[in-house]
Amino acid sequence: MNRNDLRRVDMNLLVIFEALMFEKNLTRVAEKLFMGQPAVSAALGRLRDLFDDPLLLRNGRGMEPTARALAILKELQPAMDVISGAVSRAKEFDPTTSCDVFRIGLSDDAEFGLFPPLLTQLREEAPGIVVVVRRANYLLMPALLASGEISVGVSYTTDLPANAKRKTLRDIPCKVLRGDKRPGPLTLDEYCERPHAMVSFSGDLSGNIDLDLAKIGRCRRVVLGVPQFSGLRALLAGTEMIATVPDYAACALVEGCALRAEDPPFPIEAAQLSMAWSGVHDNDPAERWLRARISQFMSLPLAIPS
């Protein structure tokens, strides 16, 4: 195909093709691209004609890409990244008039403890934008960035896609949350004897806190696992249960209620909260504005009531 022939290729089809390769589901692609499912089905038919290949084949209840489809994706994705970046850099960004949709991935602790003041600032500077938040963590972040479902994410991170970039926002010191009325801070023995609540997206009942306890030959007793931080306020109030949480989550949880936060009675190795984004958006003026605000408002020091 020469460049004149490219005039008959609909770029929208290539965007749909990329989404189909990642989602492997017509309904999810329709939702992601704000299309009707019949339109996605029709686009798949046109793509099959364009590439002379079935592209997606039924496999039980799901669909799987053909070998030819995966080879096309490998060649096509870098080119689409370059085109997307070139178009983005050509645009000026004015937050006061923008109606852009920003898709952000946030871990639950970042969403609960750090997102509200950021959102207030975004809405103040750019009242016409739309912000879509997706739940992310170190397990989900790579796939969300690679598929384009988010352009930027904030979480503890480990492995990321090859074209992703990362910036450390802050350390994650921990605080112990308690809802009892006993005076004085907890001793190490009291900390280990108390029942513990743990926020766990995956349902695991052990984490880095347990590794730090093991270093000093101690352990704790987790009796409750919940998927998000917001529930701890009601669950801990007036009970013997305690929870060890990031300091910024503790700051939000103790506000206006009977919970209090104190330093743990043993050393905890602080993890790092990072911002990660797709390299294709690195020079996009709108995304650079968003990342600057994230960096500004999610790095601020905290004053936590005790």
5-89 and 174-269 agree in CATH topology: no
**What is the model's pLDDT at position 91?**
64
Under 8 Å between Cβ of 21 and 69:
yes
**Identity of residue 86:** A
Model-level pTM? 0.70
Q: Tell me which fold the domain 174-269 belongs to.
A: D-Maltodextrin-Binding Protein; domain 2 (3.40.190)
Cβ-in-10-Å burial (0-12, 13-18, 19+) of 184 comes to: exposed
CB within 8 Å of 301: residues ≥ 6 apart: none
Q: Which tokens is 106 given?
A: 């946030």
Residue 276: closest CA among 171, 153, 183: 153
**What is the model's pLDDT at position 23?**
84
**What is the model's pLDDT at position 177?**
96
Under 8 Å between Cβ of 172 and 272:
yes
Q: Report d(CA 271, CA 208) in Å as an integer.
A: 9
Under 8 Å between Cβ of 264 and 137:
no
**Identity of residue 161:** P
Under 8 Å between Cβ of 102 and 130:
yes
Residue 146: closest CA among 18, 12, 300: 18
CATH code for residues 5-89: 1.10.10.10
**What is the model's pLDDT at position 139?**
86
**What is the model's pLDDT at position 305?**
52
CB within 8 Å of 239: residues ≥ 6 apart: 179, 180
Q: Which tokens is 168 given?
A: 């450390």
Q: What is the pLDDT along the chain (306 residues), one digit of tens a residue?
A: 555 556 667 778 888 888 888 888 888 888 878 788 888 899 999 999 888 999 999 887 778 999 999 998 888 887 777 777 666 655 678 999 999 999 999 999 999 999 999 999 999 999 999 999 999 988 888 888 888 889 999 999 888 877 789 999 999 999 999 999 999 999 999 999 999 999 987 778 888 899 999 999 999 999 999 988 988 999 999 999 999 999 999 999 998 788 999 999 999 988 899 999 988 888 889 999 999 999 999 987 765 554
**What is the model's pLDDT at position 2?**
53
Q: Report d(CA 29, CA 31) in Å as an integer.
A: 5
**What is the model's pLDDT at position 246?**
94
Q: Report d(CA 209, CA 268) in Å as an integer.
A: 7
In the chain, domain spans: 5-89, 101-172+272-299, 174-269
H-state helical runs in 91-137 = 108-113, 115-125
CATH class of 101-172+272-299: alpha beta
Cβ-in-10-Å burial (0-12, 13-18, 19+) of 55 comes to: buried
φ/ψ (deg, to 5) at 117 = -65, -30
Which string of DSSP letters, residue by residue, matches 146-160?
A: HHTS-SEEEE-----
Q: Report d(CA 116, CA 110) in Å as an integer.
A: 9
Q: Given the DSSP bridges, would you call strands 152-155 and 101-106 parallel, antiparallel or unpaired?
A: parallel
Rg over alpha carbons for the chain, rounded to the nearest Å, is 23
